Amino acid sequence: SRWKYFWQSVFGLCAAIFLYTTAPSATETTLIVPMLKDVRIPLGIGFIVLTYFVIVGSSNAVNLTDGLDGLAIMPTVMVGGALGIFCYLSGNVKFAEYLLIPYVPGAGELIVFSGALIGAGLGFLWFNTYPAQVFMGDVGALALGAALGTMAVIVRQEIVLFIMGGVFVMETLSVVIQVASFKLTGRRVFRMAPIHHHFELKGWPEPRVIVRFWIITVILVLIGLATLKLR
């Protein structure tokens, strides 16, 4: 796990430094707060730190979620598709100005990557649905999570990713809370972490856990897309 985190950090820092040094304007290193059109926080060199945590964090979050058949891939497809919409809109100067989002030249090209992610994800889900015939593994989950984080950083929608990827956030927080609680008090908050195992141990069948997490993701993705008109 140490080597895995080491290489995650290397690639995360390389991506962060590359995006920072190639940014043509300060707009592309500014933190955008959705629903608050006038709130834009210049990050400067702090952009590298934020980008590192977004990419490495989303990578690990998807990996933690990948514990049940189809649980990680469908939210990844939905969030990836929604980020593709943000990329297309951010790459079009007229849409960007109208929706009050940063204009990022060339970002529209990422719609191709988003489409590939959706197609590959749905093809994988055909065989990964319960009971699964194939599995994603660390390589797939870590890479897909990093891809989501990178797309969000490019179009300056890190907070929107946090909203739309709420299932990934919930899974990660459940592990953090469980470990912290056990070390500090010797007690566990959940029956088992990540939290999808908690619901399994409460008696929920695996397909029920999976589909309900999908439903939560649908709602959160719609909320994320709704921020486009709430600025």
pLDDT digit string, tens, across residues 186-196: 999 999 999 99
* pLDDT for position 229: 83
Please give the distance of CA 117 from its chain centroid, rounded to a whole number.
Answer: 13
For 29-113, list the strands marked E by DSSP: 30-32, 40-42
* pLDDT for position 197: 97
Side-chain-facing half-sphere of 114: CA atoms under 13 Å: 21
Hey, what are 54's tokens?
């977004």
* pLDDT for position 231: 61
Hey, what are 89's tokens?
């809109």
* pLDDT for position 204: 97
* pLDDT for position 28: 83
Ranges of residues in the chain whose predicted pLDDT is under 70: 231
Task: Show binding-site residues.
Answer: 63, 138
pLDDT digit string, tens, across residues 38-88: 788 999 999 999 999 999 999 999 999 999 999 999 999 999 999 999 999
CB 226 within 8 A of CB 160: no
Task: Show binding-site residues for Mg(2+).
Answer: 63, 138
Reported pTM: 0.94
* pLDDT for position 68: 96
* pLDDT for position 36: 79
| Residue reference for tokens 């990022």 | 104
* pLDDT for position 176: 97
